[in-house]
Amino acid sequence: MIFTDQMGREITLSHTPQRIISLVPSQTELLFDLGLKNKVVGITKFCIHPSHEVKQITKIGGTKKFDFDVIDNLKPDLIIGNKEENYQDGIEYLTKKYPVWMSDIYTLDDSLKMIRELGNILDTLTKAHEIAQSIETSFQNLPLVHNIPKVAYFIWRQPWMIATTNTFIDYILQKIGFLNAFRDLERYPEITLEHLQESNPEYIFLSSEPYPFKEKHIQELQSILPHSKILLVDGEMFSWYGSRLLKSVEYFKKIVATL
């Protein structure tokens, strides 16, 4: 069987995979929600959901540094990665030895396609369609805010980094009804606090990941922008593009209710 991933690469499988390695936290969670926990043999150290299940599974390193010896010992018949979250050299090395299916996610449609494609490859298509349909239905309730307020979404400190256009996070912000305060920039640029003052966003979101922002960081930024409303937000809800999206819209409603 020949399958094409979201980067346009073909992989050939002689059978339905029985030994799967996931290199991406959000896709690891999806595999469990597809009922495949007994087939997942390797995950990254950042794969934290479902918490009661992943502790027992072999860790193959991080998303951007793989332990190839551990992977070889696991003898996978499918490896699942992501273009943005994994590193090119590592993926190219693995591709020489194993079938590697890569996702490439920018929009909700990309996410739904990924879920259904993995369901097809892993013979869990009915469950995959159910998850994708539930996500699609929940997102029909967006946008939640009106008048398109400006928001800055921070992912890192020292240096200060934000999520801007051409990212899944920005797509989600737009779906909720926000306008990115740094829409003239792309991807995950560094900015200065002077830039932040100039953009003067109505809202500032401090993500829980990859940098673990805390209450003290709200105070730090509030002194610079006293009129902006600053919130700590769950980064998984904005950036995880697997079955975590089943919970996102209800979370967004709670966030918007506090604005």
Helix (H, G, I), strand (E, B) or coil at 182: coil
Please report whether residue 22 resides in a domain: yes
In a domain, 103, yes or no: yes
Among residues 138, 160, 190, which one ends one of the domains? 138
> What is the pLDDT, as a whole number, of residue 178?
97
- Residues 134, 12 share a domain: yes
Last residue of a domain, one of 105, 138, 171: 138
Alpha-helical regions (H) of the chain: 25-33, 51-54, 68-74, 88-95, 108-121, 125-138, 168-176, 193-199, 215-222, 235-239, 245-257
pLDDT for position 73 = 98
Instruction: Identify whether residues 27 and 107 lie together within a single domain.
Output: yes
Q: Quick one: 99 and 156 in the same domain? A: no
Residue 65 lies in a domain: yes
CATH number assigned to the domain comprising residue 211: 3.40.50.1980
* CA dihedral over 245, 250, 254, 259, signed as positive or negative: positive
**Shared domain check, 6 and 121:** yes
Q: Are residues 50 and 72 in the same domain?
A: yes
3-state SS string over 103-126?
Answer: ECCCCHHHHHHHHHHHHHHCCCHH
Is residue 51 in a domain? Answer: yes
Residues 7 and 92 in one domain: yes
Q: Is 6 in the same domain as 118? A: yes
Query: Of 98, 116, 138, which residue is a domain's last?
Result: 138
- From first to last of its 259 residues, what are the pLDDT tens digits of the chain? 999 999 999 999 999 999 999 999 999 999 999 999 999 999 999 999 999 999 999 999 999 999 999 999 999 999 999 999 999 999 999 999 999 999 999 999 999 999 999 999 999 999 999 999 999 999 998 999 989 999 999 999 999 999 999 999 999 999 999 999 999 999 999 999 999 999 999 999 999 999 999 999 999 999 999 999 999 999 999 999 999 999 999 999 999 999 8
Whether 177 and 134 share a structural domain: no
Residue 120 lies in a domain: yes
Interior angle at CA 193, CA 192 and CA 198, nearest 5 = 100
Number of folded domains in the chain? 2
Query: Do residue 10 and residue 126 come from a single domain?
Result: yes
**144 located within any domain:** no
What is this structure's pTM?
Answer: 0.94
Domain with 94, as residue range(s), is: 2-138
According to the model, what pLDDT value does residue 256 have? 94
| Dihedral, CA of residue 39, residue 94, residue 113 and residue 3, to nearest 10 | -90
